[in-house]
């Protein structure tokens, strides 16, 4: 995963076409969460410091290959300008004579944001002719959108084959963090997996089993494994069609000598909306109750399993953390991760949201900016947006 980086490029007086991830929420023409803009600032500022002229490109939402004014990146350009303290020019489109002219007329210290890439269907189709049109706006390419690195889209995987290319600072950090997890973890290595569906995590579990020392499972996905072990799980979510595969994973973990820990007690309720009916269940779950968080005994057991860990991967909450009655398990496990002193990586949208909600973000070693991309990387898949970048 040793890719060419921003430090390997001569930036002075060059137009630097940067694929960023500015897919941010908007309300009434204003950016309501600028975390992704802030994440891109180090790369943008590094290019400016090196005398380069950044030309930024991103998608926003799902316009379906047509122009949708509500999904214009113009509000993003305005907010980015505020964060940088300088004007961000806004192109009327992402390719064509006008964007190319604007890119060539950029003065030192100025930058340009191209309009939403997904206004054109050719972006998601990965068409080379479209990529060549984008490449006309730059002399160099920098990939800095880990959140889309698993997509073989034109701006992600084709443009870097047309221009001298490198990874930006954000993408470089992502690559390094996951290389440390997948290629050279310091042991003991503990993975915490949660979330709703075991179907989303089976490939990840299979890829991690040979690498981790312990695997802690929580969230609704735990109930498919518990059912596979013959436990009564009441009305909890179970993917019946995957019980056989769950049994195979449990058997494989035992064969490899890996600890795969499952909840031994639960916070249950008649329904997700019945927070007042939440109670601790230590044993078989009644037929009219569903498991919605791990219980206190499981929390204690998982904290003990995390003690002394040198590497921790966390992907998925332990319960329905959006509801206070079912957030305790995620909070306590999150605190154990934050306080343990291990190299810790949090990946996946729900995991990141949980860390931010719990106020633990500044105590995690690396918080990934790409949910789907991080999941595919952990499954052992090659990401098109990384594969397209040249080796150092």
Active site residues: 36, 197, 349, 372
**Which pair of structure tokens corresponds to residue 299?**
């929390």
SS3 317: coil
State the Rg of the chain over Cα. Answer: 23
| C-alpha distances in Å from residue 86, one per residue of 79, 128, 181, 241 | 10, 33, 38, 55
Backbone φ and ψ for 204, nearest 5 degrees, come out as -65, -45
Instruction: State the pairing for strand pair 290-294/279-281.
Output: unpaired
- Ranges of beta strands (E only) in the chain are 15-19, 26-27, 30-31, 53-57, 88-90, 111-113, 140-143, 165-167, 189-193, 214-217, 259-261, 266-269, 279-281, 290-294, 311-315, 343-346, 366-367
**Which pair of structure tokens corresponds to residue 83?**
């964060």
**How far does CA 82 lie from the centroid of its chain?**
26
**Which pair of structure tokens corresponds to residue 155?**
């701006």
Cβ-count burial of 210 within 10 angstroms (0-12 exposed, 13-18 middle, 19+ buried)? exposed
């Amino acid at each position: 995963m040793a890719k060419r980086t921003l430090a390997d490029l001569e930036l002075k007086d060059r137009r630097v076409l940067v694929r960023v991830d500015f897919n941010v929420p908007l309300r009434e023409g204003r950016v309501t969460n600028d975390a992704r803009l802030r994440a891109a600032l180090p790369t943008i500022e590094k290019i400016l410091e090196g005398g380069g002229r950044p030309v930024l490109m991103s998608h926003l939402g799902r316009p379906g290959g047509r122009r949708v004014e509500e999904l214009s990146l113009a509000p993003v350009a305005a907010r980015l300008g505020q964060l940088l303290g300088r004007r961000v020019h806004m192109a009327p489109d992402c390719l064509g004579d006008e964007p190319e002219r604007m890119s060539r007329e950029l003065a030192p210290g100025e930058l340009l944001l191209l309009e939403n890439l997904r206004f054109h269907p050719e972006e998601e189709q990965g068409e080379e002719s479209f990529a060549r049109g984008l490449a006309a706006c730059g002399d160099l390419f920098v990939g800095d959108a880990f959140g889309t690195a698993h997509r073989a889209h034109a701006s992600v995987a084709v443009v870097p084959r047309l221009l001298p290319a490198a990874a930006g600072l954000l993408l470089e950090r992502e690559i390094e963090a996951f290389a440390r997890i997948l290629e050279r973890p310091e042991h003991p290595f503990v993975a915490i997996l949660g979330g709703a569906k075991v179907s989303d995590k089976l490939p990840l579990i299979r890829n991690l089993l040979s690498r981790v020392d312990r695997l802690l499972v929580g969230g609704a996905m735990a109930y498919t494994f518990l059912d596979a072990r013959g436990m009564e799980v009441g009305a909890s979510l179970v993917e019946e069609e995957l019980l056989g595969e769950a049994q195979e994973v449990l058997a494989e973990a035992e064969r490899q000598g890996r600890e795969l820990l499952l909840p031994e007690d639960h916070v249950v309720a008649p329904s997700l909306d019945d927070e007042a009916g939440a109670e601790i269940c230590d044993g078989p779950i009644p037929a009219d109750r569903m498991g919605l968080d791990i219980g206190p005994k499981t929390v204690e057991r998982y904290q003990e399993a995390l003690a002394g860990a040198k590497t921790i991967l966390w992907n998925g909450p332990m319960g329905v953390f959006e509801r206070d009655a079912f957030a305790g398990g995620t909070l306590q496990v999150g605190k154990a991760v934050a306080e343990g002193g291990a190299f810790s990586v949090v990946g996946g949208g729900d995991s990141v949201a949980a860390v931010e909600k719990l106020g633990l973000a500044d105590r995690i070693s690396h918080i990934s900016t790409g949910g789907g991309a991080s999941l595919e990387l952990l499954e052992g898949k090659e990401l098109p947006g990384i594969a397209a970048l040249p080796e150092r």
